[in-house]
Every structure is written in structure tokens, then in C-alpha cells.
Amino acid sequence: MSAGSSFSVLYALGVVYSYVLGMWLPWQQLAVACLGPSVACTSLLPFFPESPTFHLLKNRTDKAKAALQRFRGRDVDIEEEFGKLQQFVQSNATQNRSWSLITQATVYKPLLIVGLAFVARTFTGITGIESHSSLFLKAAKGALPDQLGATVFVLCSTVSCFFVKFIMDSVGRRPLLIASASGVSLCLGSLALYLYILEKTGEQAVKMVSWLPLLCLTVYVMAYNIGHACVPDVLLGEMLPPWFKEKAGAITVLSSNTMHLLMVILFSQQEDSLQSYGLFLALAALNVAAAILIAMFVKETKGKTLQEISELFEEKSKLIEYGSIER
């Protein structure tokens, strides 16, 4: 499983865990049940090995080599890889890490593209829809009970996450983002139309297509997972130079999570009203715009080294040797 898709799979499994237990447990017991895995993972963190790169940055060569051997396996020859890793760390340690370098095209252009990818992810409305899926299905008079429909929704989310690992490196990052934004837009637009007709004409008018809300949400989450769920994180790791990655990553993730929180609050204000079709329609339009912007500006990074990615943004400038992306 690729690093890009593993996070999405684990996240989806956590959502399934909470949804399934939520079918039978009151929220107080559900909170305790969800706290259990978090406590277990936190208690295991002290036993996790540090990365070889971290040890090299601290001048712990022996520990770095031992850590790399542990990750690769006892029978794997790591001498060549370890030598390249040492060279990579040493070359980056001598680079000027001033914030003034953000004006360079090889820094600000990929930063803007990564920012676009994270903003596009937020405008899918995924956090709001996942948090309120059962409420929307109940309001939409779906064919299945709202809680069961919500569970089907998150199960399909998990299945699609496993599928992504097989296509990430073969299809590429840019096509997946475009397909994801397009699919999300189509599903949200269809759901907005359904809710609009339901509010204006009544339940009888949509009785023949009562299955549509669940279908829209299911295809929506699958479309989200093939691109928006994991590609922005992959681009964050691939496009930005190493010396800037930590700073940019912290700022980007903090901003993204804040926007996701605002999205949940926005959906909470709509949960008791069928007029949420307006919100779905707005998100559908934003995803159309996102698909267009991604097609225009996002560069394909599949199979490229960081040096080659840098050349995509400023071919004539003096480029920094960033090393190779670990595949």
C-alpha cells in the first residue's frame, strides 16, 4: 500500500468503527469506545523507531543505519540507499533556509498548487457530509433507514480507499484530482436537485427515486476518495523542497483543519432544513471551478524526482539538488 493511500484507508476504518458502534451505543458510550483506540495508539508511540533521516540530522549515524535496516529488513543490502540518504541530508543541511526564498518560483509555485489542492478538498464538504449523513438521509426520505444508509455510506468509503492504492502510481496525481472533483460535483448537484424537488413538490414526487440520495452520497464518497482524500497529502510531500516542507506542512494542515471545522459548523446550521440543497449546489459549483483550476495549474509529479519536479516550475533558474522521491 502506498503512503498516500494508507492514511485514507486508516481514516476510513476509523469512521466505519464509529458509525457501526453508533448504531447501537448512546453518544456517551460511543465517545468512550472511540477513545480506546486513541489511547492504545498513543501508548505504543514510545516504542516506534525514529526515521533514519531524523537520526542523521542529529548526527547519529549508527542509529540511522540500524533504523534503515529495520525498516527494509535484515536480509536487504542498504549500503547504497544509506549512502544516498546521507548525501541527501548533508546537501540539505547546507542550504539557506531563509523565508526570503519563498519568492523563488520553485518554492511559491508548488506552495500555491498544494494550497489549491487542500482548498479543493475542503470544498468537497466531506467533513460536514460525513458528520451529518444520517440526518441528510432522514430528511431526504431515503429508501433505507437513515442510520443503516449512513453505515453503507462509510463502508463504501472504506472500499474505495483500498482501490486507490492500485491506481495512484499508474494513473497519476493530476487525473485523479480532476476525476475526483468532477465526480463530487456531479453527485452534489444531483443531490441538490433531489432535495429541491422534494421541498417544492413533496415526497410523492420523488418516491420513485427514493434510492437516489444514498446513491449520490455513496458515489460522492468514492469520488472523493480516489483523489481529494490522499492526493493533496502526496503533493505536499512531493512538490515542496525539504527545507520548507515542515513549515509549509504545518501551516497547510492547520489551515485545512480549520476550514474543515468551519464546514462542519456550516452543515450543522442546515441539518434541520431541506434548504440544504442550496449548500450542496454551491459546493457542486465550487468543485466544477476546482476541476478547471486543477486542470490548468497542477503539475503531474508521478515518477519524477524532486529535482525534476523543481524543473517544472523554473527550468532556467539555478536548481537545488533535492534528492529522489522514495517510491
Residue 147 sits in a domain of what CATH number? 1.20.1250.20
- Indicate whether 188 belongs to any domain: yes
Neighbours of 250 (CB within 10 A): 10
Q: In the 8-state DSSP scheme, what is residue 144? A: S
Reported confidence tier of residue 321, pLDDT bands at 50, 70, 90? very low
Helix (H, G, I), strand (E, B) or coil at 33: helix
Question: Which has more confidence, 157 or 109?
Answer: 109
Residue with cell 433531489: 194
- Indicate whether 30 belongs to any domain: no
Reported confidence tier of residue 319, pLDDT bands at 50, 70, 90? very low
Domain count of the fold of the chain: 1
- Indicate whether 9 belongs to any domain: no
- Indicate whether 139 belongs to any domain: yes
- pTM: predicted TM-score of the whole model, two decimal places: 0.73
- Indicate whether 15 belongs to any domain: no
- Give residue-wise pLDDT tens across range 124-169: 988 888 777 766 666 655 555 656 666 677 777 777 777 776 777 7
Alpha-carbon distance 287 to 127, whole Å?
Answer: 15
Q: Which domain holds residue 182?
A: 101-313
- Is the pLDDT assigned to residue 186 strictly greater than 90? yes
Question: Which has more confidence, 218 or 323?
Answer: 218
Q: Average pLDDT for residues 219-240, to the nearest whole number? A: 86
Q: Average pLDDT for residues 282-310, to the nearest whole number? A: 86
Contact 156, 221 (CB under 8 A): yes
**Cell, residue 143:** 429508501
Q: What's residue 327's pLDDT?
A: 38
- Indicate whether 161 belongs to any domain: yes
- Indicate whether 93 belongs to any domain: no
Q: What's residue 99's pLDDT?
A: 64
- Indicate whether 236 belongs to any domain: yes
User: Which H or E run includes 77?
Assistant: none
